[in-house]
Amino acid sequence: MVIGEMTQDVDLVVVGGGPGGYTAALRAAELGIKTVLVEAMPKPGGVCLHMGCIPSKALLHAAEVIETSKHAASFGVHFEAPKLDVDALRSWKQGVTDKLAQGIVGMCKSAGVEIIRGRATFQDSRNLRVEGDNESPSSRIKFKHAILATGSRPVKLRGMDFESDRLLDSTSALSLADVPKKLLVVGGGYIGLEMGSVYAALGSEVTVVEMTDGLLPGVDRDLVRPLATALAGKFKAIYLSTKVTALKEEKNGLTASFEGKDAPASENFDKVLVAVGRRPNSDGIGLENTQVTVDAHGFAVVDEQCRTSDKRILAIGDVSGQPMLAHRAMRQGMVAAEVLAGRSSAFDNRAIPAVVFTEPEVAWCGITETDAKAGGIEVAAAKFPWSASGRAMTLAEPVGQTKVLFDPQTTRVLGVGIVGPRAGDLIAEAVLAIEMGAVLEDLVVTIHAHPTLAETLMEASTAALSRLERQAARAAEKEKTRA
Ligand code: FAD
Ligand code: NAD
């Protein structure tokens, strides 16, 4: 123990002030638990607020405005080519995150949650040490319970992990130092496609390299197809089933060597963004001094109540497993706090929405056709193309599809996939439908405002129900004839 270090005795310490951590801390305080929140960064908000969801969506909004201004000519509205002020865009984005961070600080203050700045390390299952810096002294915390919410960080690829201003990860890509003329994006997943879209709209010539044979692996192909077509028009090249085998820094940029059927042997780029996944922050925080079990991928193993195998420690968010999404972290934060307050709360949600905020957006929840096929689960699908949606036509963006997957016996809604503008907002109704155990008829008889894109969920369900009714009528007719 370092002499002079203060020790605080608390009911609950939350380690990590991201969306999982601050949600848990606020809910715990609300339920009467004395809570402190330890965060290593100067401001709370985590990856989501400072280098993830929020800054990327701010930049994607700018990209959408640029793209929309280009397409407006198709309905007779002409804009001049956009003039880009990168400094102003960067400060606007920063302003958004600063305001939101201030909001979290304010909420913690009014809830009585003390924020301690520093890096926490578990000494054992009851104590942790917080390593301070110039602005905050180091201290020790004795806790009854801890919630681990330390999040995740980008995966680094061997041979692509050297220090260079030209080599970006999602954090440096979001800092928007400049707009490179030629950008290589390694990884055709969430970050690769979202950030690739941003830089393409800002004027970069973007090349995407994806190791598997399709963008967004795991997502239903009929949802990805319209996005892949749109991106083919925006990106210079998309190389599938391709790997970057070497990356070499040269005077004029980074030269990447490729191995893949359509890719050139090598090409020079001004900058390279590596976005090949994230790994949990479960190492270097003293978990070996506790009873917490960590799996082969580095995730803290938790049960439905977010409890780890250490009875005093719970874990939530990215550090506790897939999918690594902010809204999952937030829901788990609520659950963990309620469990500690003695409530019968569980992370037993049936559907976790996923949204890729590209143009068009892709969103899904519940079961996917890919999952159903792999798991031998019988599902029926109803699809509604947006070319038949009045609202999509008025937006001059009729490319899209809404797909409802349901149990063919009971018509219970099991999954929904949507591709099209604002799919990320539309998926909310589908999540609620699945949580409430809705059947197709519930979506059909619910009045949807007209004309809206939300109607496509009702239309897809109506089409499915009509099809089932026709099938039933035909079967009854056959039965009658046989009799
Ligand atoms: P984090 O947000 O990672 O927060 C963990 C916090 O813990 C950090 O602030 C960190 O500083 C702190 N910490 C770590 N170790 C310690 C320690 N030892 N002591 C003290 N503090 C510590 N998800 C979505 O749902 N929607 C999106 O649109 C979206 N976009 C994204 C875009 C990008 C570019 C990226 C990278 C991610 C995106 N995500 C998105 C994922 C989302 O950011 C994460 O799922 C979410 O932030 C996880 O929340 P968390 O609370 O588990 O951890
Ligand atoms: P990802 O898992 O979404 O995509 C990584 C992609 O890289 C995959 O398609 C994978 O096949 C590919 N890949 C892996 N190794 C490769 C290699 N050597 N060469 C070429 N391609 C390779 O990961 P991400 O894009 O880094 O994002 C990380 C996580 O952050 C996501 O899984 C998601 O949980 C979260 N996120 C969410 C959002 C959102 O909700 N809109 C946005 C960004 C990030």
Q: What is the pLDDT of residue 2?
A: 58
Question: N- to C-terminal Cα distance for the chain?
Answer: 89
Asked if 450 is an active-site residue, the reply is yes
Ligand nearest to the CA of 274: 2
Q: What is the pLDDT of residue 483?
A: 82
Residues facing residue 207 across a β-bridge: 184, 237
Task: Tell me how crowded residue 420 is: count the other CB atoms within 10 A of its CB.
Answer: 27
Q: Contact 411/465 with Cβ under 8 angstroms?
A: yes
Q: What is the pLDDT of residue 45?
A: 98
Q: What is the pLDDT of residue 134?
A: 80
Ligand nearest to the CA of 273: 2
Residues near 57 by beta carbon (within 8 Å), at least 6 away in sequence: 357
Q: What is the pLDDT of residue 327?
A: 98
Residues with CB under 6 A from ligand 2: 157, 186-192, 194, 209-212, 217, 243-244, 275-278, 323-325, 355-357
> Which is the closest atom of ligand 2 to the Cα of 324?
34
Residues near 104 by beta carbon (within 8 Å), at least 6 away in sequence: 17, 22, 43, 44, 45, 49
Q: Contact 20/347 with Cβ under 8 angstroms?
A: no
Please list the pLDDT of the chain residue by residue as tens digits (483 residues). Answer: 556 789 999 999 999 999 999 999 999 999 999 999 999 999 999 999 999 999 999 999 999 999 999 999 999 999 999 999 999 999 999 999 999 999 999 999 999 999 999 999 999 999 999 998 888 889 999 999 999 999 999 999 998 989 999 999 999 999 999 999 999 999 999 999 999 999 999 999 999 999 999 999 999 999 999 999 999 999 999 999 999 999 999 999 999 999 998 999 999 999 999 999 999 999 999 999 999 999 999 999 999 999 999 999 999 999 999 999 999 999 999 999 999 999 999 999 999 999 999 999 999 999 999 999 999 999 999 999 999 999 999 999 889 999 999 999 999 999 999 999 999 999 999 999 999 999 999 999 999 999 999 999 999 999 999 999 999 999 999 999 998
DSSP secondary structure letter of residue 396: T
Q: What is the pLDDT of residue 5?
A: 83
Ligand 1: residue whose CA is nearest its atom 47: 48
Cα(434)–Cα(422) distance, rounded to whole angstroms? 20
Diameter of the chain measured on Cα atoms: 94
Q: What is the pLDDT of residue 133?
A: 84
Centroid of ligand 2 to alpha carbon of 144 (angstroms): 37
Nearest by Cα to 257 from 155, 159, 168: 159
Q: What is the pLDDT of residue 398?
A: 85
Ligand 2: residue whose CA is nearest its atom 3: 189
155 Cβ below 6 A of ligand 1: no
> Which is the closest atom of ligand 2 to the Cα of 326?
40
Q: What is the pLDDT of residue 3?
A: 61
